Amino acid sequence: MYGWAVGDMAGLFPRPRAVVAPGAVHVPEWLPVERQRALVEVCREWARGPVPLRHTVLPGGGVMSVQTVCVGWHWQPYRYSRTADDVNGARVADFPDWLAELGRAALVEAYGEESPVGTYAPDTALINFYDGAARMGMHQDKEERSGAPVVSLSIGDTCVFRFGNTENRGRPYTDVELASGDLFVFGGESRFAFHGVPKVCPGTADPATGMSRGRLNLTLRETGWGV
């Protein structure tokens, strides 16, 4: 109607942190550009293998539009394993200690003194790459045996993140604009809320982050699957 795209006015107005639902917290611009760029570089290394970035094939034969690579544990619908038996049978890259520390820092930022940081031990990361046409349907993260919070980091193009309820894929839900550097944490009452990405906004990435196009999303999780 007005001739501008989402993201054109980024930076003109402050985006305050928000509690989207009990236990679900959005912290805009949490990651500085330099840290975003470093994460992009290491994600590119992981994308080359030992298990490469790929489109996940669903049990019914459908193919996800996002591309995924995992570290620590390999996710495939709907379980975790140490080896990517649905790709090339290789063992996934190890989950680094520095990434766990980043996850714990994210919990402190989101929850403050109420953060369960002392017991939080993320051991896997699902890294999703969205091109301009990619979407993620409403789903729950429930393959984990742990109910610890999920930490989500966004780099690159802005997206519309739809955060729903714990009962079904429909309303009520809240649409949140996640831009590069944003942190989103969901745990507690909202740990098993349905969520998805109905839209990515092409052309909103800052090349200084190392992402000239597309959106990179890292979700850190505690699987509870042991060794």
| Host domain of residue 40 | 31-221
* Backbone angle region of 86, left / alpha / beta, with phi > 0 → left and psi within -120 to 50 → alpha: alpha
Task: Say yes or no to pLDDT of 107 above 50.
Answer: yes
* Averaged pLDDT score across all residues of the chain: 93
Residue 21 resides in a domain: no
User: Residues 155-201: pLDDT tens digits?
Assistant: 999 999 999 999 999 999 999 999 999 999 999 999 999 999 999 99
- More confident of the two residues 212 and 12: 212
Asked whether residue 65 is assigned to any structural domain, the reply reads: yes
Whether pLDDT at 129 is above 50: yes
In 10 A of CB 51, how many CB atoms?
Answer: 23
Question: For residue 40, is it within any domain?
Answer: yes
Q: Does residue 48 form part of some domain? A: yes
In 3D space, the residue among 25, 27, 53, 28 whose CA is nearest the CA of residue 40 turns out to be 53
Q: Output the pTM of the full model.
A: 0.92
Q: How many domains is the chain built from?
A: 1
Q: What is the pLDDT of residue 27?
A: 98
CATH number at residue 63: 2.60.120.590
